[in-house]
A and B are shown apart, each in its own frame.
Chain A
Amino acid sequence: MSEFSEDRSITVSIDHLSKTYPVPFLRLKKFFRRKFKPPVEALRDVSFQIHEGEIFGLIGPNGAGKTTLTKIIATLIQPTSGEVAVRGNDTVRDDAQVRRDIGLASAEERSFYWRLTAEQNLLFFARLYGLSGPEAKRRIKTSFEMFELEELARRRFAELSTGNKQRLAVARAMLAKPPVLLLDEPTRSLDPIAAARLRSTISSLARAGDSRVTIFLTSHNLAEVEELCDRVAIIGKGQIRALDTPHNLRATHTRNEEVSIIFSPDVADSVNLALRQTFTDQSFTLERASHDQRWLLKFSREAEDKTLDKVLSVLHQSRAIVRTIETKRATLLEVLEQYDESERDTRGRRN
């Protein structure tokens, strides 16, 4: 995670944003009494701010409104109501200035010209950004080095692997050195090593001294979001359900944590007895961990309560030697699942 502070200036401001996709030719359909599907409400009263140099993650199930929100920030779709401003510029009124300030990298392979080489593709987009010939070539060279694509510069886009196409998309988004980067599943098609390298690059962009990049990231890879993002918003049915740091989201939504302790030697019976005497309403599982007299003790506790201290004391009194202790909090996936379930429950009750 980058060194994020809320004191920093606001780079992206989203204020009471709603988007309902209109029914095409509604009046005509009504006039001819044709059936039509109801308008799709993609976003409902979404408000949040992203600060300079922050890596902000947006997660949610398919159809939750992630792509619509990204495209509104990218000026490709106009909101129905509310406002989005990037560095103070409105995405509808000052759309050209907003596009100068943002770069978008999506996982869409078809966004390049397949008959052109990787270099020719970047040169074309650099010219559209208004970069002069020598400057464009210098930037392209730097981008190729940064994303380890030098050897593929002269290859046709069609000949690149899916992972390299993805890296080229991020390189293109960074070409004009925009202060804001929108990344839509940036590591979706990458192998684990390439994905880790790209994550490291993304992280370093947000930490790069005076030229920090603000990053808005959507991903289905929750481990990636946890690793990279300073704050995460959970979106469901077009509404922001929760917004906090990954740590706080986990802590707020699941107070409990699973504790696993491995101990030796073979003193399981006395440990079991001592635990029953000490804890009357706490359940424990005790099982053999391996063949060399090690035992695994599992229990859950409320985060930071005194259960663990008491258990360690019992183990000590039973002459057990603690080998390892692991605590496991809920992941973002579990948090997301919890929201998904509550949404399904609400829908079920309505039906």
Chain B
Amino acid sequence: MVLLSRIWAFVARDWLVTVSYRMQFFLRVLSVLIAVTTLFFISKIFVGFTDVRFAEWRDPLAAWLTGLAVLNYFMTGFSSLANAIRQEQMQGTLESVLMTPISVPTVVVASSAWDFVEATFFSLLYLIFGWLFFDVHYRGSALLALVFLLLTTLVLSCLGILSASFAMVFKRGDPFGILLGTGSALFSGVFFPTQLINQHAGSGVASISKILPPTYGLDGIRRVLIEGQGFSQVHEPFVTLLAFLAVLLPFSLWVFGRAVRRAKREGSLIQY
């Protein structure tokens, strides 16, 4: 209960900061609408050209919008934890927050809560604009898609915790951000089927997509939302994501604990 009220405090704070920049908010909504419209026109080039092997890509616009919506959420899960610490460090507010009876892990989780609220809104906006203006239809279980979304976000949050640990000790130059940020868009099937990598770049390069959790998350969500598949058909990516979580969660928490202790010993917790 106390944890929830503290998370609420951070969400309320960030909401107030966000609404103090109204113009930025409306411009972001507009940019999503422009991106969806642009993708609609590009998708028209591919009408009737879809390879039968890629059932999820029969309607490229639906595949892209799902990809972008989900990628937006995944990247938040991955990057917001490190960003939360970094932003508080740079603003100079981390010291005053850490002076309250709140643990460092709680600060990290609660500081990123608003990012998830915002990501949910903008991810939904991709899907809503597609449905509202461009006749994109989704079928299948929304609940199952949501389970996939949460599971993948949790796995990426573990990487986010590793990233936050890195930010706490090294301050900048986070390798997880660079690798996952650029890697996910290229190797996880956001804009094109991952099978094409194997076809054109060989199995060595294609194996990169297999070690990226977003690949499995996106695959599962697309199969549920676009093809309407049930749990028995998507259990394979689901189990793979669970395996990622089982390994990454304890490891990332262990690394994070060590990073906090190290930063406190060095007296660099609030430096950036």
Query: How close is B4's CB to chain A, nearest CB, in angstroms?
Result: 11
Closest beta carbon of chain B to A147's beta carbon, Å: 17
What is the bound-complex CA distance between A130 and B141, given in angstroms? Answer: 39
Does A112 belong to the interface (CB within 8 Å)? yes
Answer whether residue A22 sits at the interface, using C-beta atoms and an 8 A cutoff. Answer: yes
Binds A, one of B40-48, B95-103, B187-195: B95-103
Contact count A vs B, C-beta below 8 Å: 90
Alpha-carbon gap, A176 to B100, bound state (A): 9
B255 within 8 A of A: no
Interface string of A69-89 (1 = CB under 8 A from B): 001001111101000000000
Q: Is the CB of A172 within 8 A of B96?
A: yes
Return the contact of B9 from the options A19, A96, A104, A127 (Cβ within 8 A): A127
Q: Which residue from B16, B91, B100 sits with its C-beta under 8 Å from A128? A: B100
Q: Is the CB of A124 within 8 A of B92?
A: no
Question: With A108-B92, A115-B16, A116-B13 known to touch, is A128 a contact of B103 (CB < 8 Å)?
Answer: no
Q: Is A120 an interface residue (CB 8 A)?
A: yes
Task: Confirm or deny: A100 has a beta carbon within 8 angstroms of a beta carbon on chain B.
Answer: yes
- A21-B91 CB under 8 A given contacts A104-B99, A127-B5: no
A112 to B12, CA, bound (A): 15
Q: Does A285 contact B (CB under 8 A)?
A: no
Classify the interface of chain B: helix, strand, loop or mixed: helix
Most buried by B among A19, A21, A97, A115: A115
B261 interface residue per 8 A CB criterion: yes
Chain A residues contacting B139 (CB-CB under 8 Å) are: none
Which A residue sits closest to B10, measured CB to CB?
Answer: A124
- Bound-complex Cα distance A102 to B98 (A): 12
User: How many chain A residues touch the partner (CB < 8 A)?
Assistant: 37
Q: How far is the CA of A24 from the CA of B102 in the complex (A)?
A: 27
Chain A residues within 8 Å of B99, by CB: 74, 76, 99, 102-104
The answer to the question of A129 belonging to the interface, with a C-beta cut-off of 8 Å to chain B, is: yes
Chain B interface residue number, banded: 20 to 34
Q: Does any Cβ of B come within 8 Å of A347's Cβ?
A: no
Contact of A112 with B17 in the complex, beta carbons under 8 Å: no
Q: Are B103 and A96 in contact (CB under 8 A)?
A: yes
Residues of chain B contacted by A24 (CB below 8 angstroms):
266, 268
Query: How far, in angstroms, from A110 to B264 measured CA to CA in the complex?
Result: 20
The answer to whether the Cβ of A290 comes within 8 Å of any Cβ in the partner chain is: no
B20 interface contact, C-beta 8 A? yes
Instruction: Provide the residues of chain A in CB contact with B102, threshold 8 Å.
Output: 96, 99, 128
B264 — nearest CB in chain A belongs to which residue? Answer: A78
B95-A111 in contact (CB<8A): yes
A125 within 8 A of B: yes
Shortest CB distance B34–A (Å) = 27
9 contacts between A and B (CB under 8 A): A19-B267, A21-B266, A24-B266, A76-B264, A77-B267, A78-B264, A109-B92, A113-B13, A120-B16
Q: A interface vs B, CB < 8 Å?
A: 19, 21-22, 24, 68, 71, 74-78, 80, 96-97, 99-100, 102-104, 106, 108-113, 115-116, 120, 124-125, 127-130, 172, 176
